[in-house]
Amino acid sequence: MNIPLKTKIDRARQRAYREAAEWYMQMQEQALDAKQKTCFDQWLAADVLHQEVWANVIMFDEKLGRVPKTVMAQTMQHMQPKQHYATKFSLILFAICVALYAVQGIRQQDYLPEMFSFDPVDIYKTQIGEQQQLSLADGSQLWLNSNSKIRVKYNTKQRRIELASGEIYIETHKDSQQRPFTVHTADGDLLALGTVFNVRHLPTQTELIVKQGIVRTQPQQSQYYRDVPAQHTIRFDEKQIYIDAYSDLPLLWRQQLLVVHSMPLEQFITELSRYHQSEINLDPSLEKIQVSGAYSTQDLARTLNMLKSTYHLHVIQSGPDRFDLQP
């Protein structure tokens, strides 16, 4: 009896998810040894479907990264006797997600809507000191700053950017399909209404700088939104929005410049360190020096020499990647 092609594809996909789940749990328990790593690499290279499935596994892992390994292991053990569950990795992840909500109270609205979607997701990441420009499928332009990570999800209903870390600058393009363009962060959602804007992921907040157009902003745990117009800056957390002073100077990071006006040296060093692996130590007596000017984010030696000559500091290289700023 001939098996329909669709059935064969479905079975192959189920098998791929089952195998991916096994690899995932094995990695959760302990690091792979050399032999296991070789086997995993061979499995990954054996089929494009394996690569597609594993990319989804990585995406899920990022969303569920706060699940304790003990909870994950217990959940899997309970499900292993039920073969019809074990063959569907998405259901395994659902059980993990439910356990997560019960144990840690993670916000359901953050993750559940995207959890079971298998639409293509493109992941882009920059290293410290690296920047990247992307042309998205609809013609929109996006820049990633140093040490940033995003997930891009375009389908027939939406254009969605998930900012996992770092900073992005976006110039939206009119969409022939009239799909909404949204940016999601841990703090809430942004809806672009024909805009040019910058979004930065901060430790406890998200910063939004609107250069052109309007960006509708809604914190994660709020029923209300605010339309932020051009030449406005806000910061928001999960509950509320805070108005900040507008300046377009921070947007010059795309030109590899750190342009500041009367910024405390302590804060300046923190900003400069976003672009370098080197450790920069500042003597406490220098922390409140007000720094102004345009400085290179890429040429560390040049920037430190400018600080040295302008503010009469001593810059001591105490190691291959260590600098001390002293009076």
- 244 or 78, greater pLDDT: 244
Q: 14 Cβ partners below 8 Å, 6+ apart?
A: 87, 88
Tell whether 263 and 187 lie within a shared domain. Answer: no
Kindly list the distances between the CA atom of residue 315 and the CA atoms of 259, 261, 262, 311, in Å, as whole numbers in the listed order. 21, 22, 21, 11
- Is the pLDDT at 63 greater than 90? The verdict is no
Among 230, 248, 266, give the residue marking a domain's end.
248
Tell whether 108 and 189 lie within a shared domain. Answer: no
At residue 94 the predicted structure's pLDDT band, cuts being 50, 70 and 90, is: very low
**Which CATH number goes with the domain that contains 302?**
3.55.50.30
At residue 92 the predicted structure's pLDDT band, cuts being 50, 70 and 90, is: low
Tell whether 100 and 128 lie within a shared domain. Answer: no
Q: What is the pLDDT of residue 88?
A: 46
User: Which of these ranges, 31-35, 189-193, 308-312, has the smallest mean pLDDT?
Assistant: 31-35
Query: Domain tally for the chain?
Result: 3
Tell whether 102 and 218 lie within a shared domain. Answer: no
Among 66, 93, 115, give the residue marking a domain's end.
115
Among 73, 96, 115, give the residue marking a domain's end.
115
Rounded CA-CA distance 1/102 in Å is 47
Tell whether 111 and 126 lie within a shared domain. Answer: no
Q: What is the pLDDT of residue 60?
A: 62
DSSP string over 230-277: TTEEEEE-SS-EEEE---SGGGGGGGTEEEEEEEEHHHHHHHHGGG-S
- Is the pLDDT at 21 greater than 50? The verdict is yes
Helix (H) or strand (E) holding 228: strand 226-229
At 249, list the tokens. 């100077």
At residue 26 the predicted structure's pLDDT band, cuts being 50, 70 and 90, is: confident
Tell whether 108 and 43 lie within a shared domain. Answer: yes
Rounded CA-CA distance 211/141 in Å is 14
Tell whether 185 and 268 lie within a shared domain. Answer: no
Mean pLDDT taken over the chain: 82
- Is the pLDDT at 188 greater than 70? The verdict is yes
Q: What is the pLDDT of residue 40?
A: 87
Tell whether 160 and 200 lie within a shared domain. Answer: yes
- Is the pLDDT at 113 greater than 80? The verdict is no
Nearest one of 212, 142, 198 to 167, comparing CA atoms: 198
Tell whether 98 and 142 lie within a shared domain. Answer: no
Tell whether 158 and 234 lie within a shared domain. Answer: yes
CB atoms within 10 A of CB 228: 24
Tell whether 54 and 103 lie within a shared domain. Answer: yes
pLDDT in tens, 255-284: 999 999 999 999 999 999 999 999 999 999
Full residue range of the structural domain in which residue 140 is found: 122-248
**281 φ/ψ angles, rounded to the nearest 5 degrees:** -105, 135
> Average pLDDT in the 242-246 region?
96
**Which CATH number goes with the domain that contains 139?**
2.60.120.1440
